[in-house]
Amino acid sequence: MPQRKYSFRPEPDADAPVRPRAARDHDGFVASPVHAMHRNLWAFSEAPAETPVRLYPGWVRLAVPLVGSGGLWVIILWALGYLR
């Protein structure tokens, strides 16, 4: 028999002294380790804008790996005796 894909939340205890509630606008800030971690990690999310780096043209970035790969294949095939 398949199990249900949801579960029921337990009702809060009627005898509990304080019931949980959502924070409101007038509630004060509570410092916690999670808040400190978020504050420390925030520096990494807002990196200063870097100056653009001039890259090589597209034909050079395409040609160098292709020529290098072709050269290595020629060396491999020559070493195996197919190009002698």
Rounded to two decimals, what is the model's pTM? 0.39
pLDDT higher at 38 or 20 = 38
Mean pLDDT of the chain: 82
Sketch the domain layout of the chain as residue ranges.
57-84
Task: Identify the pLDDT of residue 7.
Answer: 67
Q: How far is CA 59 from CA 55, 56, 67, 71, in A?
A: 11, 8, 12, 18
pLDDT tens, position by position, 50-70: 788 888 999 999 999 999 999
Read off the pLDDT of each residue in 4-23 and give the average, rounded to a whole number: 69
